[in-house]
Amino acid sequence: MNYWLPKKKTLVFSLVVVVASLAVYLASLYFVNAKITEIEKAYSEAESIIAEDENSRAIIHIADENASEIQALRDFFVAPGDEVGFIEEIEAVAKSSGLSFEITSINQDKVSTDPVKEDIKVRIGVEGSWQSVLIFIRELEIMPFIAVITNTSLDAKGENVWSGFIELVVFREKMK
């Protein structure tokens, strides 16, 4: 009559099987979740790389489409190594204006925080007629460089002879 009651060994064995099954299930669940997380991370990184690549291609395409405009803008800066050409252009403008002139100082701003440009500060001593000084200033303003006249001081030295200085800032493209 006691055949229908399980034996102690059978109960213990069943309990061990259930606990082992539960342990295998939880371990499998942990490893599956870890793999899912790894796959999601790989997918996200791949998606990010693809988006970055698409953005790079878009930027390159925009730069190619606007190459002439970008070059025109770059031409307004004194190119690295072209400082002598810039000074020669100032001298040509001064000579064509009929001035006697002397470039008294050239200072380059080495502490510029701008990642694209550096400042070159130029001080030019001038002497000539009022009209020649004004022509020189106008020509400086329309030079093919970004030149900003920051200070001008002129005094009458004689009849129709003006003497003084002109200070200007010219922007030079930084070397990379």
Going residue by residue through the chain (176 aa), what tens digit of pLDDT does each one get? Answer: 556 666 788 888 889 999 999 999 999 999 999 999 999 998 888 888 888 999 999 999 998 998 888 887 777 777 777 777 788 888 888 888 888 888 888 877 655 565 556 678 889 999 998 999 888 888 888 887 777 888 899 998 888 889 999 998 887 766 55
Give the separation between CA 79 and CA 85, rounded to whole angstroms.
9
The whole-model pTM stands at 0.55
Q: Are 120 and 78 in contact (CB under 8 A)?
A: yes
H/E segment holding residue 147? strand 147-158
DSSP type of residue 129: -
Backbone phi and psi for residue 137, each to the nearest 5 degrees, phi listed first = -65, -45
Q: Are 111 and 52 in contact (CB under 8 A)?
A: no
Beta-bridge mates of residue 128: 162
- What six digits make up the tokens of 154? 């002129």
